[in-house]
A and B are shown apart, each in its own frame.
Chain A
């Protein structure tokens, strides 16, 4: 009984880790621009599929492939921001929502053009026997996913709190006009936020593909779940979204395990609607912060 529970918990932690990274990605962009990039999920897919391309198709060494994947994902996000976000007025919210939806469809189309509709997979980072904890199996790759997620979270925390660029990006979030007045290049910070969040998403994709496979159309669902995580934690709060991601992942896997696997997607959505309707500031967020937001 307990073993089964643990098993569900482990699988929940794995999916939760990816949601946490997507949620974190949402926050990075949201903090710099007040935009929700609905193409966020596509970058996870880009990460997984490019990693397959470099490591399995081109037979490049693991680390080289990973670095290339992250760089190319960053470059894609750079192109996205320069070509579609920058030229448009940031004040038109509907337009901002639509353009990120449009780019996500475009990315999905490109991915399908290149990779087709089949799911892709490559071997886990390390070969070896899975660990057994109280009878429950935990794959080595699961530990990689969770470890990588937490490393990302810590690095991003340090980036935003300890480096000058990170602090400048936070300043843009608080007040873009004031940030500009003290000499921060707001446009550059927005660009950087897109690149950074795409890289975080791609890292998630690279880590999770050996476990959950990757196909071209996984993006929208990942984006919804990641957004759910971000909302749960209170938009704009990185650590909140991480907690949210794990909670959703675990609830999902419990639903799939104990109730019905087809309902697992509905759970995250129901949580999302419940939070939006009853506590839009999020479980960990503050209402005042929400009211101060532009959108």
Chain B
């Protein structure tokens, strides 16, 4: 982690710890919790897309696997929640391997549509399998660890954002490691990085798994917070929303993914009066941000800050 990131992290942690005192009411906290859950998925997607240059239109599939596996095991077998969550992540990692090995041969559109197809298959399975079908699956136990059950919104808020903070730190270290540099090399040129001795295939599979595990983690947190899940939450539209978070925030920046997740989660709440027209608003935002600030919010802000700094010195 660089010094800039460290300062940002401190600001971030302060903001998070103060939030429940400022944003009162369980509604505000719940929006905050969903922002954190989405941020977790977005971080994984950001590493996959921004650093490894791979597209995924099926991230909601992994998110759904995490939620359903963890929920079903905890309800049917009554195992400790943390074990169920680990199981969810393991299954998602397995699915990622199965998807990634053949998908490695694919590029661009082919990869995009293959991941989209994967996500939709998961959605069909969740709808058709005897897990409550389209009407959903309920009575999921709350998150608990060592006998302490996290039930109140404010404590779950700290839990989720704590996980986000740890994941962000881990991801920053990953990106600045040898593997991270190799990833960026893949993004720029696969052939060149291959020639430099980077094992492109293995690394790509690893990143796929990493992003799937993040998504499954988020999914299981979601399941144990809401205690009720239905396939509708894990549809193609959610995959697109996740993609939107990464792009709006800035595809090559982990802070961007977090900011994007918060913006895209909070936005519909602010637009409540448009009710049914959220799709239209989403479409507009995504189209306009792709057209006019392709780099995303966070890189844009960084550029502006640096310009100001630069002119101040001169």
Residue of A87, A270, A295 touching B107 (CB-CB under 8 A): A295
B29 on interface, CB distance cutoff 8 Å: no
Whether A295 contacts B108 in the complex (CB less than 8 A), given A109-B279, A109-B280, comes out as: yes
Q: How far is the CB of B278 from chain A (nearest CB, A)?
A: 8
- When C-beta atoms are compared, the residue in chain B nearest to A227 turns out to be B113
CB-CB under 8 A from A108, the residues of chain B are: 279, 283
Whether B113 contacts A105 by the Cβ 8 Å rule is no
What is the 8 Å Cβ interface bit string for chain A, positions 18-45, against chain B (1 contact, 0 not)?
A: 0000000000000000001010000000
Q: How far is the CB of B209 from chain A (nearest CB, A)?
A: 18
**Bound Cα distance A99, B114 (Å):** 18
Whether A260 contacts B128 by the Cβ 8 Å rule is yes
Whether A97 contacts B108 by the Cβ 8 Å rule is yes
A178 on interface, CB distance cutoff 8 Å: no
B170 on interface, CB distance cutoff 8 Å: no
Chain A interface bracket (under 10, 10 to 19, 20 to 34, 35 or more): 35 or more
Tell me what chain A mostly uses at the interface: helix, strand, loop, or mixed: helix
What is the 8 Å Cβ interface bit string for chain B, positions 262-285, against chain A (1 contact, 0 not)?
A: 000000000000001101111110
- When C-beta atoms are compared, the residue in chain A nearest to B113 turns out to be A227
- When C-beta atoms are compared, the residue in chain A nearest to B54 turns out to be A94
Whether B283 contacts A263 by the Cβ 8 Å rule is no
Contacting residues of chain A (248-295) with chain B, CB-CB under 8 angstroms: 260, 262-263, 265-266, 269-270, 272-273, 276-278, 280, 295
**Bound Cα distance A88, B112 (Å):** 19
Q: How far is the CB of A168 from chain B (nearest CB, A)?
A: 24
B177 on interface, CB distance cutoff 8 Å: no
**Bound Cα distance A62, B24 (Å):** 59
Whether B291 contacts A280 by the Cβ 8 Å rule is no
Whether A105 contacts B279 in the complex (CB less than 8 A), given A97-B55, A280-B106, comes out as: yes
Whether A109 contacts B284 by the Cβ 8 Å rule is yes
CB-CB under 8 A from B175, the residues of chain A are: none
Whether A265 contacts B120 by the Cβ 8 Å rule is yes
Whether A272 contacts B277 by the Cβ 8 Å rule is no
Whether A36 contacts B113 by the Cβ 8 Å rule is yes
- When C-beta atoms are compared, the residue in chain A nearest to B289 turns out to be A102
Whether B108 contacts A106 by the Cβ 8 Å rule is no
Q: A95, A102, A220: which has the most chain B beta carbons within 10 Å? A: A102
CB-CB under 8 A from B109, the residues of chain A are: 36, 93, 97, 295
A103 on interface, CB distance cutoff 8 Å: yes
Whether B291 contacts A224 by the Cβ 8 Å rule is no
Q: How far is the CB of B302 from chain A (nearest CB, A)?
A: 20
Whether B283 contacts A105 by the Cβ 8 Å rule is yes
Q: How far is the CB of B3 from chain A (nearest CB, A)?
A: 30
Whether A224 contacts B116 by the Cβ 8 Å rule is yes
B236 on interface, CB distance cutoff 8 Å: yes
B247 on interface, CB distance cutoff 8 Å: yes
Apart from A112-B280, A277-B106, A280-B106, list 8 A-B contacts with CB within 8 A.
A95-B290, A99-B287, A99-B291, A105-B240, A228-B117, A272-B114, A272-B117, A295-B108
Q: Which residues of chain A have a CB within 8 Å of any CB of chain B?
A: 36, 38, 84, 87-88, 93-95, 97-99, 101-110, 112-113, 116-117, 220-221, 224, 227-228, 231, 260, 262-263, 265-266, 269-270, 272-273, 276-278, 280, 295
